[in-house]
Amino acid sequence: MREIKYISNIDRLDGIPESEKASLKEVTQQYIFRSNNYYLSLIDWTDPSDPIRRLIIPDPKELDDWGYIDPSMEDQYTVLPGLQHKYDSTALLLVSKVCGGICRYCFRKRLFLGRQSDILRDFPAALGYIQSHKEITNVLLTGGDPLMLSTGKLERFIKALFAVDHIRIVRIGTKLLSFNPFRVTRDPSLLEMIKRFNEMGRKIYIVTHFSHVREFTPEAARAVALLQSVGAVLINQCPLIRGVNDNPEQLAELFRALAFAGVPPYYVFQCRPAIGNRTYAVPIEEGYEIFEKAKAMVSGLAKRARFVMSHATGKLEIVGKTEELMFFKYHRAARNEDSGRFLIMVRNPQAYWFDDYEQIVDEYPLAWPQGALGGLDSAVLS
């Protein structure tokens, strides 16, 4: 592909019948559309259920009244504009307000709705905060998509962060390897920058966002290999999305492709209840079954992902279920005392979020108190 051209006008999509465009345009008045000629070329327009189409083309059901503007309550952990500090060791910098495409299920739609207060404004102030919080060892650059910035600008952020003694890892959360892998394959300066930091002993993790194996094109695979060749560590995370990857075979295929490329699946997220997301969300218990079935089809290396929910109180891992009960564990917790806490809830097949579980059966801290197993037994049997 010679040139990447961004497309934000539904009228320019030849694969969509004219009769459908009016309703899609109505959606884009609320939630913008953005893609490019490369990503759109991956769509099989003869298949109305094509997963790539589902991921990027608006759906009239997005206008259903559902969800929250800030479902994980990121606002609560925003210590300065564009700087979030929820977990002790990790800080998030929202360095970009644009993405290579707009995922229809985006959980940060608020960034595209004109709410700019979440974007980094004063980097020196944010850096000062990070310098004074020695417990922070990791900084995640996110947004929006940090790879939408020029390499020069990205390097200024990373250089300043690595100049802080206690910052050992900078993560770049990006979907550009799916939306536009040419961002990597055509920019040698990006690779040289990562190599320089790697040689200094500072690791750059690239957190990719492949949601379906069809995004893993030969060009995407080349981008992955180039990044790995200069010492970047790649891991993948994606949400479980209705019509995109809500199928054990497809999810397993994605896990396999990632593992074969040396990109461990890291997290599979429960789709957040963000505004417009009703049509994309899969109930937690159904999602858990899909996830477990997918894992059963792949090797240990391909099933390293955890199925988690980025809840306001922490990252809750969905760890199991019985006929009547659901089991959750805080993989990361906003309050340190919740770390590892185990929660047993009465099942609710209609639950899309932790708050939909009303009845708590029991909860234990990580260090299980004496007799806790007895409590568990009786909870299971009751």
Q: How many residues bind ligand SF4 (CB under 6 A)?
A: 9
Which residues are within 8 A (CB) of 244 and not within 5 positions of it... i.e. 6 or more apart? 51, 54, 55, 211, 212, 280
| Bridge partners of residue 35, in order along the sequence | 7
Q: Least distance to ligand SF4 from the beta carbon of 60, Å?
A: 19
Please, which residue, 175 or 256, has the CB nearer to ligand SF4? 175
93, 52 Cβ separation under 8 angstroms: no
Using CB under 6 A, pick the residue from 27, 103, 275, 334 that binds ligand SF4.
103
Should residue 145 be labelled a site residue for ligand SF4 when binding is judged by CB under 6 A? yes
Environment class of residue 281 by beta-carbon count within 10 Å: exposed (0-12), middle (13-18) or buried (19+)?
A: buried
- Taking contact as CB under 6 A, which single stretch among the options 101-109, 188-196, 245-253, 342-350 is the one that binds ligand SF4? 101-109
Q: Least distance to ligand SF4 from the beta carbon of 108, Å?
A: 5
Tokens of 99: 């993405």
Should residue 303 be labelled a site residue for ligand SF4 when binding is judged by CB under 6 A? no
Should residue 102 be labelled a site residue for ligand SF4 when binding is judged by CB under 6 A? yes
User: How many Å from the N-terminal Cα to the C-terminal Cα in the chain?
Assistant: 61
Please, which residue, 56 or 298, has the CB nearer to ligand SF4? 56
Should residue 140 be labelled a site residue for ligand SF4 when binding is judged by CB under 6 A? no
Should residue 108 be labelled a site residue for ligand SF4 when binding is judged by CB under 6 A? yes
Instruction: Give residue for tokens 């606002």.
Output: 75
Q: Least distance to ligand SF4 from the beta carbon of 106, Å?
A: 3
Q: Least distance to ligand SF4 from the beta carbon of 190, Å?
A: 18
Distance from C-alpha of 251 to C-alpha of 267, rounded to nearest angstrom: 12
Q: Least distance to ligand SF4 from the beta carbon of 185, Å?
A: 19
Task: Supply the DSSP symbol for 309.
Answer: E
Should residue 99 be labelled a site residue for ligand SF4 when binding is judged by CB under 6 A? yes
Helices then strands, each counted (H, E), the chain: 12, 15
Neighbours of 237 (CB within 10 A): 18
Q: Least distance to ligand SF4 from the beta carbon of 6, Å?
A: 13
Please, which residue, 63 or 244, has the CB nearer to ligand SF4? 244
Q: Which of 176, 171, 34, 153 is nearest to 90 (CA)?
A: 171
> Hey, CA dihedral for 30, 174, 50, 12, is it positive or negative?
positive
Should residue 175 be labelled a site residue for ligand SF4 when binding is judged by CB under 6 A? yes
Q: Which of 169, 166, 161, 105 is nearest to 138 (CA)?
A: 169
Interface with ligand SF4 by CB under 6 A: which residues?
99, 102-103, 106, 108, 144-145, 175, 209
